[in-house]
């Protein structure tokens, strides 16, 4: 593993797939300010690397990708330092959300609070069959904020409200039924399930995927008519990449 900083390591393969790990953050990969900054810096280090086709975000070990934010650090905060702490986490989530290539969240074990906000900012969420999800902030006297705002878009306002107001956890099968995760792997099959998605992404045009991810982000933010009209220009721009000509030509040649 190549360590980009003390809290972020990467493994690249020959296909342009990068496995980016949260490192040296305890057994549950907890987000302190230092860890949050380290992981964000890891993503920023890769953002201009156009050879990156996909990122798999993972933790060290199988207890979690990110278990949550650091309660020990948060217990010492005041209003000003609390805003600085949560701004760091917001910036990490937004860096992932705006990363040009697809980001897959690999989700074993616990995914709580800040960990679930990071997962929600990823493009694809693949969970182990024993994974658990929750937003426990109100149980420790704080609201769920920042990219918890993505939850109503994923699972609907009613279920999002239930998660952030009851602080109850849900299991992987419930998360799948709700649309919080995209796939639940059978026991021992998490990496195989992640690889299946990686292969699907690699069959797509890399430039087309970058445009598609950007459009998905616009669809989250913009009114419908604006989203529709914006996409016309993006469709046209895709023909400047050469991918449609190459990939459509290959498709037509296979059909002959």
Residue positions annotated with a catalytic role: 117, 137
Query: What distance in Å separates the CA atoms of residue 117 and residue 119, rounded to the nearest whole number?
Result: 5
**pLDDT computed for residue 124 by the predictor:** 98
What 3-state DSSP class applies to 221? Answer: helix
- pTM for the full predicted model: 0.96
**What confidence tens digit (pLDDT) does each residue in 65-81 have?**
999 999 999 999 999 99
What 3-state DSSP class applies to 50? Answer: coil
255 pLDDT above the threshold of 80: no
Percentage of the chain beyond pLDDT 90 is 97
Q: What is the mean pLDDT of residues 27-52?
A: 98
Mean residue pLDDT of the chain comes to 97
Q: What is the mean pLDDT of residues 216-229?
A: 95
Residue partners of 133: CB distance under 8 A and separation at least 6: 111, 112, 116, 127, 163, 169, 170, 171, 172, 175, 180, 181
Q: Give the DSSP H/E element, type plus range, for residue 202.
A: helix 190-202
Q: What is the mean pLDDT of residues 73-92?
A: 98
**pLDDT computed for residue 250 by the predictor:** 87
Q: What is the mean pLDDT of residues 32-46?
A: 98
DSSP assignment of 144-173: --GGGGGHHHHH-HHHHHHHHHH---EEHH
- Tokens 């953050």 correspond to what residue? 25
**What confidence tens digit (pLDDT) does each residue in 129-164 have?**
999 999 999 999 999 999 999 999 999 999 999 999
Contact 58, 39 (CB under 8 A): no
């Amino acid at each position: 593993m190549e360590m980009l900083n003390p809290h972020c390591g990467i493994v690249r393969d020959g296909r342009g797939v990068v496995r980016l790990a949260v490192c040296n953050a305890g057994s549950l990969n907890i987000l302190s300010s230092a860890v949050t900054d380290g992981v964000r810096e890891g993503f920023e280090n890769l953002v201009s690397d156009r050879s990156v086709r996909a990122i798999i975000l993972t933790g060290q070990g199988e207890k979690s990708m990110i278990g949550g934010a650091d309660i020990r650090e948060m217990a010492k905060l005041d209003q000003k330092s609390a805003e600085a702490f949560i701004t760091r986490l917001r910036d990490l989530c937004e860096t992932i959300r705006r990363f040009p290539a697809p980001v897959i969240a690999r989700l074993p074990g616990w995914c709580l609070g800040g960990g679930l906000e990071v997962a929600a900012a990823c493009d694809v969420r693949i969970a182990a069959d024993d994974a658990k999800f929750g937003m426990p902030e109100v149980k420790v006297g704080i609201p769920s904020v920042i990219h918890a705002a993505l939850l109503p878009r994923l699972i609907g306002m009613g279920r999002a409200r239930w998660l952030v107001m009851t602080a109850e956890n849900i299991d992987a099968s419930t998360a799948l039924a709700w649309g919080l995760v995209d796939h639940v792997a059978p026991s021992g099959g998490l990496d195989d399930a992640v690889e299946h998605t990686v292969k699907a992404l690699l069959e797509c045009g890399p430039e087309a995927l970058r445009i598609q991810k950007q459009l998905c982000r616009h669809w989250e933010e913009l009114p419908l008519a604006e989203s529709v009209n914006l996409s016309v220009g993006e469709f046209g721009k895709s023909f400047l990449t050469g991918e449609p000509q190459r990939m459509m030509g290959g498709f037509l040649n296979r059909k002959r």
